[in-house]
Amino acid sequence: MDILHSRIVGQGKPFLILHGYFGMGDNWKSLANQFGESFEMHLIDQRNHGRSFHADEFDYELMVEDLHEYITHHDLDDIILLGHSMGGKTAMLFAVEYPEIVDKLLIADISPRYYQPHHNEILKALNSVDFSVHTSRKMVEEQLEKYIPEMGVRQFLLKNVYWREKGQLDFRFNLQSLTENNSEVGRALPSFTSFDGETLFLAGGNSNYITQDEIPLIKAHFPNAKVVTVPNAGHWLHAENPKGFYEEVMQFLG
């Protein structure tokens, strides 16, 4: 069984972070160094992302089992679990399936509802990159720019470009599997599942992923949830307002 790759920093109670779609644990490095003053931080790469293993199969049940294997392997218990976006979906499903392992749950800018697939332009852009032709990071960026006007999104995706061998660039994520399984990413948390532990939902003030309409659904699945808004931040709230994000998390964790 492949164990997920992670970076572990700090010491104390185990605090696990799950990144979003096309991301990796390293996206959380600077916040993890701050949290690491109080907790043992595990920055995890989920399957088909970062330095973790690639697999054709990709859905939330599998990602939950990957996480369970990871926790067993590292002999962790009574964890704090934080997930952003896709990682938030994994974290929610993990908490309802393994409530005895999770002490506190934090979900960043995603709700339990179904989301329409909306990464088609990004997938089109990534699939248009041909590493036999696009042989420098600059060339890869110029190719992505044809599809993705937002510089921030391009920079985020370019973090996944690395030298697989001398003269040969590649993506760290498993693009083929992510493309084929894109419809899995927006799946809703199964009906009639719940987690009674303390839960914090963090919504980006400029994001529409969590709206007032979602509050009843959040409460149905997570009766002990509280929802806070991180101002001056969109969907990547931890990167756009790290100070506000850090303060809300620390206040919740007491």
Domain edges within the chain: 6-115+185-253, 120-180
CATH 3.40.50.1820 matches 6-115+185-253: yes
> Dihedrals φ, ψ of 28, to 5°?
-105, 10
Query: Which residues are annotated as catalytic?
Result: 85, 235
- pLDDT, position 1: 76
**pLDDT given at position 117:** 86
The tally of CA atoms less than 13 A away on the side-chain side of residue 143 is: 19
User: How many C-beta neighbours within 10 Å does residue 60 have?
Assistant: 20
- Low-confidence stretches of the chain (pLDDT beneath 70): none
Cα(31)–Cα(249) distance, rounded to whole angstroms?
A: 11
Distance of CA 129 to the CA centre of its chain: 24
Distance CA 14, CA 39 (A): 6
Q: Give me the pLDDT at residue 5, please.
A: 98
Distances (CA, A) of 166 to 38, 51, 77, 190: 40, 18, 42, 45
Tokens found for residue 13: 């109670």
Burial of 93 (C-beta count, 10 Å sphere; 0-12/13-18/19+): buried
Enumerate the H helices of the chain as residue ranges. Answer: 29-35, 60-73, 86-97, 120-127, 137-145, 151-158, 175-180, 215-221, 237-240, 242-253
Q: Which residues contact 9 (CB under 8 A, 6 or more apart)?
A: 32, 33, 36, 40, 41, 43
Does pTM surpass 0.95? yes
pLDDT at 57: 98
11: Cα separation from own chain's centroid: 22
Residue type, 89: K
Burial (Cβ within 10 Å: 0-12, 13-18, ≥19) of residue 62 = middle
